[in-house]
Homo-oligomer: A and B are copies of this chain.
Amino acid sequence: MGRLTGGDPSLLRRINSAVVLHALRGAGSPTLTDLTRLTGLSRPTVEGVIEGLIEAGLVSESVPEEGEARRQGRPARRFRFRVEAGHLLGVEIGPHRVAALVSGLDGRIIGAGSREVSESASADDRLERVRQVIADVLRRAGVPRTNLRAVGVGSPGIVETDGTVRLGTALPGWTGLPLGQRLQRSFRCPVLVENDANAAAVAEHWKGSAKDSDDVVFVLAGLSPGAGALIGGRLHRGFGGAAGEIGALHLLGREATPEKLLSTTDEPLHPLDEHAVAQVFTLAKQGDARAQAAVERFIQRLVHDVAALVLALDPELVVVGGWAAGIDGVLDPLRDELARYCLRPPRVALSLLREAAVATGALRLALDHVEEELFAVESTVTARR
């Protein structure tokens, strides 16, 4: 443990700044008197802090409403947090689709867009598509690129802290790609790259099925399953960013790959061929015995992978997303089997954000980054909850 410093006056100033900013974001447009009451700070302290925040462009004096101006001779000054002082971008780079969301500093989404991309597209082509989507979204939302404070990106693969994809077999040319660095060229603000399932877990906790739970496993269910976990409300990346990469688990049992499990012929399916996969499920519904057996094998595998995560982590809630979440009859067997084999079975819910989960989580990570800067002192003074 590092050495503690005693009652440091500059620390106090920072604490007070964060306190005022926090109160401002919560209230509508408070007066100095309101802020004094909300924060417990003295009026001169609040005034000093407000001046500093106005200088930094984070707070503005709000214009009094007409009625108010008339009623009182000289209305009290009111202040507001300038959500437009900066913008954030959340980006998904997937096998079939790239998507982007833009928001102000309050995280409210003010623009969105997406484009299809071929699963066999090269890394360069895929990144070019990403740039087009981002340019479109910014233009339509009227947000100048220079006003961006942070960009979050969610993508399949194990991502190093510097934004390099250590391993990403789902997309051509992805393994070894310095993704953060490549995207960084287009922006002056920080670019944060995160594994897609991790981003989706953050999103469901922010505004999806996991809003009320801090211990969550999110499963991106598909032929190459991935997972993200929140522990105590915080993303668990693992020591090397590889936590939740359960796709390799079946290899240990010397068992078949999901592509083989779901195949109704002797040939395995292509891992990203969603059309072929969908057809198997359609055939199963129509009563085709071979397809039904394939679906059964696939679901058993998914259950096994999820159970491994649940036994290791003991989450309160499992959220299932990804295309396989849309399949009828995935959730019930998952619940049944978890109840049978887990000592404390978790709740199981479907993703609420669906297709938007990854980009939404990437946006939240960008927002976290900016808030950490704004409220840097908070996390050192109050626990994160």
Judge whether A243 is part of the interface by a CB distance below 8 angstroms: yes
Closest to A157 in B: B343
Bound-state Cα–Cα, A381 to B1, Å: 11
> Which B residues lie within 8 Å of A312 (CB)?
227, 229, 243-244, 246, 308-309, 312-313
* Chain B residues within an 8 Å CB radius of A238: 215, 313-315, 344
A15 surroundings in chain B (CB, below 8 A): 4, 6-7
From B40, B158, B341, contact of A251 by CB (8 A): B341
Are A239 and B314 in touch, CB under 8 angstroms?
Answer: yes
Known: A313-B313, A382-B1. A39 touches B6 (CB 8 A): yes
> A243-B312, A248-B311, A249-B311 are known contacts. Are A167 and B4 too (CB-CB below 8 A)?
no
Which B residues touch A384, using CB under 8 A?
Answer: 1
**Once the chains bind, are B344 and A242 in contact (CB under 8 Å)?**
yes
Residues of chain B within 8 A (CB-CB) of A1 are: 22, 378, 382, 384-385
Specify which of B45, B231, B239 is in contact with A315 (CB 8 Å cutoff): B239
List chain B residues, Cβ under 8 A from A380.
380-383
- Chain B contacts of A78 at CB under 8 A? none
Q: A221 near B: Cβ within 8 Å? A: no
Inter-chain CA distance A381–B11, complex, in Å, is: 10
Does A257 lie at the interface of the complex (its beta carbon under 8 Å from any beta carbon of B)?
Answer: no
Contact flags A249-267 to B (C-beta < 8 A → 1, else 0): 1011100000000000000
The reply to whether the CB of A241 lies closer than 8 angstroms to some CB of chain B is yes
A interface residues, how many (CB within 8 angstroms): 68
- Of the A-B pairs whose beta carbons lie under 8 Å apart in the complex, a sample of 20, sorted by A's number, is A1-B22, A1-B382, A3-B23, A4-B39, A4-B382, A5-B40, A6-B40, A7-B45, A166-B344, A231-B236, A240-B316, A242-B344, A251-B340, A252-B337, A253-B253, A253-B304, A312-B312, A380-B380, A380-B381, A381-B381
Q: A304: which B residues are within 8 A, CB to CB?
A: 252-253
Q: How far is the CB of A114 from chain B (nearest CB, A)?
A: 29
Whether, in the assembled complex, A2 has its beta carbon less than 8 Å from a beta carbon of chain B, the answer is yes
Chain B residues with CB under 8 A of A252 = 303-304, 307, 337, 341
- Interface 1/0 per residue, A44-88 and B, CB below 8 Å: 010000000000000000000000000000000000000000000
CB distance from A223 to the nearest CB of B (A): 17
Q: What 0/1 pattern do residues 322 to 354 of A give for CB contact below 8 A with B?
A: 000000000000000100111110100000000
- A18 located at the interface, meaning its Cβ lies under 8 Å from any Cβ of chain B in the complex: yes
Expressed in whole angstroms, the Cα–Cα distance for A136 and B128 within the complex equals: 74
Please tell me if A16 contacts chain B, counting CB pairs below 8 Å: yes
**Closest-CB distance, A239 to chain B (whole angstroms):** 4
**Interface status of A41 (Cβ within 8 A of chain B):** yes
User: Is A245's beta carbon under 8 Å from chain B?
Assistant: yes
Does A269 have its Cβ within 8 Å of any Cβ on chain B? no
| B-side contacts of A341, CB under 8 Å | 248-249, 251-252
Residue in B4, B38, B158, B242 whose beta carbon sits within 8 Å of that of A381 in the complex: B4
Q: Which of A18, A248, A343 has the most CB of B within 10 A?
A: A343
A237 interface residue per 8 A CB criterion? yes
Q: Which of B40, B243, B248, B378 contacts A313 (CB 8 A)?
A: B243
Name the distance in Å between A39's Cβ and chain B's nearest Cβ. 6
Is the pair B240, A344 in contact by a Cβ cutoff of 8 Å?
Answer: yes
